[in-house]
Amino acid sequence: MGNETDRFPLMQFKAKISNDPNDVFSSWNDSVHFCKWQGVTCGSKHQRATSLNLQGLSLSGNISPHAGNLTFLRFLSLGSNRFHGEIPREVGHLFRLRFINLTNNQLSGEIQGGISNCSELANCSNLQQLYFDGNNFGGELPSSIGNMSNLVQLGLGRYPISGTIPEEVGNLVNLYRLDMDGNLFSGSIPISFGKRQKLERLTLNHNLLSGEIPVFLGPSHPEVGNLKSINAFDVSENILCGEIPKTIRDCSRLEILNMQGNFLQGPIPSSFVSSKGLQRIDLSRNNLSGNITNELEKLIFLQYLNLSFNNFEAEVPKTGVFSNANAFSLVGNRNLCGGIPELQLPECPGKEEKHRKPSIVTILATTIRNSCKQLADSLQKT
């Protein structure tokens, strides 16, 4: 029947399952070799389990510590089930693991327990894809995560994890996808993120991040580099202040830009037009001001633009995305005029009337800039 080494740890894994509504484990018995059990794949040479895939089967129970004895395992996917309790420390013994997916379960405990129990991190350094999204972990993200140098995808969304984002995340030189949305991260966005020139997707939305958006969006920081490959950047629903960096023009592959629900001020940079591939821009619910730059008309791939609930004024462009009333939103900006007829905005005044008196927006922007840090501090304390 071949090598039987992994039969015992697999049976111990089964023993920790409290509910199996799809009768998955009916095949896990002595009459069938474990390499033929549902969800188990073995290597042909040594007859050792190399993959355990029980994704989306509505299983309940704990993850058995004996899983750490499946030492040939490269692929572990237990996502979208009802596993609860902590991730066993023994999982850190699986030095051959390349892929872990534990998303959408009810796992709990400190996030340090989930990740830095790979502190044995020398062992876990071969991991390439790690997904822990949608569990009940708490605590802070350990700086030791920076040792997982082979990671290409990291999903840590919807926990919630608290504390600051470790600068050591910037050591993950091969990372091209990083999801940290829906947590309680506070403090500023690490400037070390700018080292990640392979990064294609960065989601930090729905946290408590504050301060200004770092200049790593372009090369204004040469020793750090810039996010040359980024195509999705989401920092919405935080406490970010300051202006939108003009260096965004250097993100030539950018397609999705979500910055809504912050305290950003100032104008929309005309340099947006350099990111010609932009398809979606959401800058709503900020304190942006000034004219709506005509450069946005030149973004030929732009399908959605939301500038609602800001302080924009003056004439609305009419071509490009602005020619389709269903493709953009400007509600909540009180001083706009012109645009396509569907907007039902007033006609724009003559040029001699446009700049008769300074806008109150200038005063408001200064007040917002000065009070943003106090606001961030007070929100984080609550």
Q: Quickly list DSSP for 161-208.
A: -EEEPPGGGGG-TT--EEE--SSEEEEPPPGGGGG-TT--EEE--SSE
Residue-level pLDDT at 344 = 94
Indicate if the pLDDT at residue 236 is higher than 60: yes
Residue-level pLDDT at 358 = 46
Distance from C-alpha of 39 to C-alpha of 116, rounded to nearest angstrom:
27
Mean pLDDT (whole number) for 311-328? 96
Indicate if the pLDDT at residue 18 is higher than 50: yes
Greatest alpha-carbon pair distance for the chain in Å reads: 91
Q: Are 63 and 83 in contact (CB under 8 A)?
A: yes
Cα→Cα distances 275→12, 88, 272, 304, 377, Å: 54, 45, 6, 15, 34
Residue-level pLDDT at 148 = 85
Cα→Cα distances 5→8, 17, 30, 264, Å: 7, 21, 14, 59
Q: Which residues contact 64 (CB under 8 A, 6 or more apart)?
A: 9, 12, 13, 15, 16, 88
Q: Which residues contact 319 (CB under 8 A, 6 or more apart)?
A: 297
SS3 288: strand
Indicate if the pLDDT at residue 352 is higher than 60: no
Helix ranges (DSSP H) in 211-264: none
Mean pLDDT (whole number) for 248-266? 91
SS3 147: helix
Residue-level pLDDT at 147 = 83
Q: What percentage of the chain exceeds 70 in pLDDT? A: 84
Mean pLDDT (whole number) for 130-150? 87
Nearest alpha-carbon partner for 281 in 299, 265, 263:
299
More confident residue, 144 or 25: 25
**85-102 pLDDT tens trace:** 999 988 888 989 999 999
Residue-level pLDDT at 183 = 94
> In this structure, how many other beta carbons lie within 10 angstroms of the beta carbon of residue 269?
17
Tell how far CA 313 is from the center of its chain.
32
Q: Could you tell me which CATH number the domain at 48-381 has?
A: 3.80.10.10
More confident residue, 222 or 327: 327
Residue-level pLDDT at 372 = 66
Indicate if the pLDDT at residue 347 is higher than 60: yes
Q: Which residues contact 348 (CB under 8 A, 6 or more apart)?
A: 314, 315, 337, 338, 354
> In this structure, how many other beta carbons lie within 10 angstroms of the beta carbon of residue 36?
11
Task: Kindly report which listed range (49-53, 223-227, 234-238, 324-328) carries the lowest average pLDDT score.
Answer: 223-227
Task: Kindly report which listed range (19-23, 161-165, 212-216, 251-255) carries the lowest average pLDDT score.
Answer: 212-216
Distance from C-alpha of 48 to C-alpha of 67, rounded to nearest angstrom:
13
Q: Is the dihedral of CA 116, 118, 120, 124 positive or negative?
A: negative
- Provide the terminal-to-terminal Cα distance of the chain, rounded to the nearest Å: 61
Q: Is the peptide bond before 160 cis (omega within 30 degrees of 0)?
A: yes
Distance from C-alpha of 298 to C-alpha of 249, rounded to nearest angstrom:
14
> Token pair for residue 377?
């501090």
Residue-level pLDDT at 297 = 94
How many Cα atoms are found within 13 Å in the side-chain-facing hemisphere of 245? 21
Mean pLDDT (whole number) for 114-141? 74
SS3 85: strand
More confident residue, 71 or 374: 71
Nearest alpha-carbon partner for 271 in 244, 307, 311:
244
Indicate if the pLDDT at residue 285 is higher than 80: yes
Task: Kindly report which listed range (209-213, 365-369, 373-377) carries the lowest average pLDDT score.
Answer: 365-369
